Amino acid sequence: MKSSTALKSVGNAFKGRDVVTWLDYSTDEILELLDLAQSLKKQPHSKKLEGKTLAMIFEKSSTRTRVSFEAGMLQMGGHAIYLNSKDIQLGRGETIADTAKVLSSYVDGIMIRTFHTETVTELAKHASVPVINGLCDTYHPCQALADVLTILELKGSFKGVKAVFIGDGNNVAHSFMILAAKLGMDVVVSCPEGYEPVKEIEEQTLQLAKLNGGSYTLHYDPVEAVAGANIVYTDVWASMGQEEEAETRMTAFTPYQVNAGLMSHAAADASFLHCLPAHREEEVTAEVIDGPQSAVFQQAENRLHVQKAILQSVL
């Protein structure tokens, strides 16, 4: 597998790199991406990627990932090609390695939204162009970068921010934990027993938090978890591919619903985040997600700006 930190051109620390997980990037590099995203938000149109083409492979359906990547490429003068995995040869048994090699000869980068992390790493191993993880079962790095950009806009800084993720210890939680810890926030996860984040990622988050002046804590009591929180973040209780577990998960997660009662334990200036799509009256009440503390649509818009920052940097 090509090193995610290997440079493919002198003078540009990002060009040619894969974006699989933020564990591969330093805090300074993440801050640089955020700075670029803020600049692109102010000046959205350019010709920075004129003549560049991005292949977008989707095994999982999407609204925000597809539109933000496609619109981002167009706004920077490039082009994006939507590839449903069922409609290309991957769906007929072609190996990931062969697909990676062929696409590398046609396009300047590949984004994939898939189930298995191994699919992303295998694609990156055999592609000679940058591979961007648009989502897999372990990580959702692009979403997390939009999350922390939103927090920076809302709070003005990362230091001293208590960010609480309520719900399933899933891919969204993993990438958010890693990035928040790298940026020195006090990270808290609250979930039912049996739905904790992957232990290895918890350990990595704890180490990163200590290194960057923050902290990491796991709480099973959601009220205790959100006490004094500046950010309260949640996600759906059953993600794509977990539909058969929906009833069991509903029972387990009902005490973790983000509602006005739970938000009352957070700081007075607390903001609510959700990666969307949301199931109102399940993981969050309409009163909260549509209320004055909610920043979910600012967060969703920021997917476009961070996607563009990633694309401009690695392409």
The alpha carbon of residue 299 and the mean position of all alpha carbons in its chain are separated, in whole angstroms, by 11
Catalytic entry in 17, 108, 143, 249: 143
Pairwise CA distance, residues 233 & 225, whole Å:
12
| Residue 218 among known ligand-binding residues | no
Q: Has 24 been annotated as catalytic?
A: no
Q: Where are the beta strands (DSSP E) in the chain?
A: 53-58, 79-84, 109-113, 131-135, 162-166, 186-190, 215-219, 231-234, 271-274
Catalytic entry in 137, 275, 299, 312: 275
Catalytic entry in 126, 174, 303, 305: 303
| Residue 275 among known ligand-binding residues | yes
The 10 Å CB-count burial string (b at 16+, else e) for 198-208 is: eeebbebbbeb
| Residue 89 among known ligand-binding residues | yes
Q: Has 303 been annotated as catalytic?
A: yes
Closest-CA residue to 299 (of 270, 272, 263) = 272
Pairwise CA distance, residues 223 & 210, whole Å:
24
| Residue 75 among known ligand-binding residues | no
| Residue 56 among known ligand-binding residues | no
In angstroms, the Cα distances linking 144 to 21, 264, 285 are: 10, 25, 23
Q: 122 near 97, Cβ under 8 Å?
A: yes
| Residue 255 among known ligand-binding residues | no
Q: Is the dihedral of CA 24, 26, 32, 37 positive or negative?
A: positive
Q: Has 136 been annotated as catalytic?
A: no
53-58 and 79-84 strand pairing: parallel
| Residue 276 among known ligand-binding residues | yes
Q: Has 140 been annotated as catalytic?
A: yes
| Residue 221 among known ligand-binding residues | no
| Residue 68 among known ligand-binding residues | no
Amino acid at 206: L
| Residue 174 among known ligand-binding residues | no
Q: Is the dihedral of CA 64, 243, 174, 60 positive or negative?
A: negative
Size of the chain in residues:
315
Catalytic entry in 17, 126, 140, 305: 140
| Residue 140 among known ligand-binding residues | yes
| Residue 240 among known ligand-binding residues | yes
| Residue 113 among known ligand-binding residues | yes
| Residue 62 among known ligand-binding residues | yes
Q: Has 17 been annotated as catalytic?
A: no
Catalytic entry in 113, 174, 274, 305: 113
Query: Residue 216 burial (CB < 10 Å; 0-12/13-18/19+)?
Result: buried
Closest-CA residue to 214 (of 266, 176, 167) = 176
Catalytic entry in 235, 274, 305, 307: 235
Q: Which residues are annotated as a binding site for L-ornithine?
A: 171, 235, 239-240
Catalytic site positions: 113, 140, 143, 235, 275, 303
Q: Which residues are annotated as a binding site for carbamoyl phosphate?
A: 62-65, 89, 113, 140-143, 275-276, 303
Q: Which residues are annotated as a binding site?
A: 62-65, 89, 113, 140-143, 171, 235, 239-240, 275-276, 303
